[in-house]
Structure 1
Amino acid sequence: MSLRREALLAAAARGPFVRVLVAEVKGSAPREPGAEMLVWPDHVEGTIGGGALEFEAIARARSCQGARLERFALGPDMGQCCGGAVSLAFEPMDAQSLAHIEGTVFARPLGAPSEMPLAVTRARAEARRAGTQPPLLCAGWLVETLAPDPEQLWVWGAGHVGRAIVNVIAPLPDWAIRWADTDAARFPDTLPQGVTRLIAENPADLVSLAPPSARHLILTFSHALDFELCHRLLGRGFSACGLIGSQTKWSRFQRRLTELGHSPAQISRIACPIGDPSLGKAPQAIAISVAAALLRERIERAGTAATKEGCTA
């Protein structure tokens, strides 16, 4: 439930749009609070769950004249069998309006401009004090924290598995992917949004460009390059690192890394194999399991604070 200002600014470069946000859910619904889609006159990005609700939301977004909140009972209003109710926020956005977003917690009314209610003031102050997520919908206002900079994910190798992983993870929010290999011909002609291509005769020379907070997936065409990347990344530091390979390959790497002076505790921070081997070795299976692990960890880190906050109007 964070507002991704930089991503919205990039979207605004393609023209004004309406952001449709799931602000509140009662009962069963296709998507959770915080799900969003961006609607232009001629195209849409993102989804709030598809079906009749999304179709109606797109139509209303394209006729939207100002920020507002609308409630949809999915059964009676939409003929859907979910059985719940969804409140959607509609916000027209462009580069000029996005330039006014500032601070760590951004609040604005869904309707005519008005003085900020006391409940919203308190919710913002508590979110800043405790570093928690505020209630998304509070006294008719939207209250969102500004998302931090995207996490850097470095994918080493543009082969079958590298391509599958980038294609699966790139559409997910809050990732900045750096994709490295030896030659431009190894990459697809068109890169997904948010992906930066890096080319070097020896990709291991690029390790010094990666911040110690980055995550890494090592899956090149060469065991020798894989090993050099492991060695250099252990010296550089990282948030997490995964290596594609068999147990035999990893045992050999562990022995050689130890000979180079890395401690067992350091070496054990590299996960090998990546993903869930029980799902198979197909590139798409590996990509899905890797993405699932990344999402699960992110939810575990942020989930408790996001689900316990409330708002008293």
Structure 2
Amino acid sequence: MFDLDTLRSAVAAHGAVARVVIAEVAGSSPRETGAAMLVWAGGQSGTIGGGALEWQATSRASAMLETDKQQQLDVEPLGPKLGQCCGGMVTLLTETFDAATLAALPDDIFARPVSAKDMPLAVSRLLAQARSQGVPPPSGMVQGWMVEPVAKPARQIWIWGAGHVGRAIVDVLAPLPDLAITWVDVDAARFPDRIPEGVTTIPTAQPAVLAAHAPTGAEHLILTYSHALDLALCHATLTRGFARCGLIGSKTKWARFRARLTALGHSPAAITRIDCPIGDPALGKHPQMIAIGVASSLLKYKQHASRQENAG
């Protein structure tokens, strides 16, 4: 998807920015169609797969920033030309953006001509169908036009606690696409000085009260400094409703919580919807190990949900 927010931030920080996106893939490729990176004078972010492909693409993008050229299409055979073992072929679209060009971009689907001037009927129909049904089209080339839906966060992740584990989880999750992260703690001073892009911090003396008003489609990760606060948050989220909820803790902690949540009136079926412990205990208890396990669980849940939607 077209990450307009990240591009806007890059342009605000660095001026003119080149964006390189994989427009088409034939055979094996290090990244998928729609994967993109940004390049500016003296730096870059994102990746289209690394190696010689990315090195040459970065060089071309940097050269474009020094000219008035706004768009370039390159077809790269990975094996014969670049010596990469993938063996496939990728088509790269490089475009330059500044504050003026950004202002003209749509906020739903970015469709623009590449090798065909007039919009083909196939693209017109695709856009009309996507906008009428609210279902974004896949990224890619359509009869000489590049079509990319503008990325919008699809999942709301609420993280309760800004301690070592909370910070590690936020650092791992923040770069992932489609996530809107709300980070809550009892004291603003507990948050780090640098908050990752796309993360909203909320200091509040009463987190459980806030939890009672969280979106019912949110996914919660409860990992505060206090067992009493953790319990209050579990009670509040169970009462409110949620898509998913995870609690940091041991088997002993969870056994005590189950008993206390039962006493608070929650059914066994409702209580078992809370995952405890979170992540993958086999990875270890280091904050970054927990964060990797949590991220893996979130991604697997998304893939599982997508398969269920497609099956329906």
TM range (shorter): 0.7 to 0.9
1:52 lines up with 2:40 in the alignment: no
1:196 lines up with 2:195 in the alignment: no
Residue-pair matches, total: 304
Q: Determine which of 88, 94, 98 is the counterpart of 1:84.
A: 88
1:40 lines up with 2:43 in the alignment: no
Q: Determine which of 254, 272, 276 is the counterpart of 1:250.
A: 254
Q: Could you tell me which amino acid in structure 2 is paired with residue 36 of structure 1?
A: A
User: Identity of paired residues, percent?
Assistant: 55
* Counterpart-to-counterpart distance in 1, 2:104 and 2:142: 20
Matches within 5 A, 1:139-158: 139-158=143-162
1:119 lines up with 2:141 in the alignment: no
- Encode CA deviations 1:246-302: one digit per residue, 9 max, x unaligned: 222112212211221223332222111111222222222211111112122323444
Q: Could you tell me which amino acid in structure 1 is paired with residue 292 of structure 2?
A: I
TM-score (norm 2): 0.88
* Counterpart-to-counterpart distance in 2, 1:93 and 1:300: 36
What SS is found at the alignment partner of 1:87?
Answer: strand
What SS is found at the alignment partner of 1:3?
Answer: coil
Q: Determine which of 157, 162, 166 is the counterpart of 2:170.
A: 166
Residue ranges of structure 1 left out of the alignment (5+ in a row):
307-313
TM-score (norm 1): 0.87
What SS is found at the alignment partner of 1:62?
Answer: helix
Q: Could you tell me which amino acid in structure 1 is paired with residue 143 of structure 2?
A: A
1:97 lines up with 2:117 in the alignment: no
Partner of 2:229: 225
Partner of 1:311: none
Change (3 A) 1:36 1:77: same
Q: Determine which of 287, 295, 298 is the counterpart of 1:294.
A: 298
Q: Could you tell me which amino acid in structure 1 is paired with residue 118 of structure 2?
A: E
Change (3 A) 1:302 1:72: farther
Matches within 5 A, 1:204-243: 204-208=208-212, 210-243=214-247
Alpha-carbon contact 1:123-1:134 (below 8 Å) kept: no
- Encode CA deviations 1:33-81: one digit per residue, 9 max, x unaligned: 1211111122111111111111111111122212232111112222222
Query: Which stretch has the larger CA shift, 228-237 or 190-199?
Result: 190-199
Change (3 A) 1:282 1:23: same
* Counterpart-to-counterpart distance in 1, 2:307 and 2:74: 26
* Counterpart-to-counterpart distance in 2, 1:174 and 1:250: 30
* Counterpart-to-counterpart distance in 2, 1:93 and 1:58: 15
Displacement of 1:161 in angstroms is: 1.4
Q: Could you tell me which amino acid in structure 1 is paired with residue 149 of structure 2?
A: T
* Counterpart-to-counterpart distance in 1, 2:43 and 2:37: 11
What SS is found at the alignment partner of 1:90?
Answer: strand
* Counterpart-to-counterpart distance in 1, 2:258 and 2:118: 62
Q: Could you tell me which amino acid in structure 2 is paired with residue 37 of structure 1?
A: M
Alpha-carbon contact 2:218-2:243 (below 8 Å) kept: yes
Change (3 A) 1:105 1:187: closer
RMSD of aligned alpha carbons? 2.4
Change (3 A) 1:97 1:301: farther
Structure with greater contact order relative to length (CA < 8 Å, sep ≥ 6): 1
Query: Which stretch has the larger CA shift, 212-221 or 123-132?
Result: 123-132
Partner of 2:21: 21
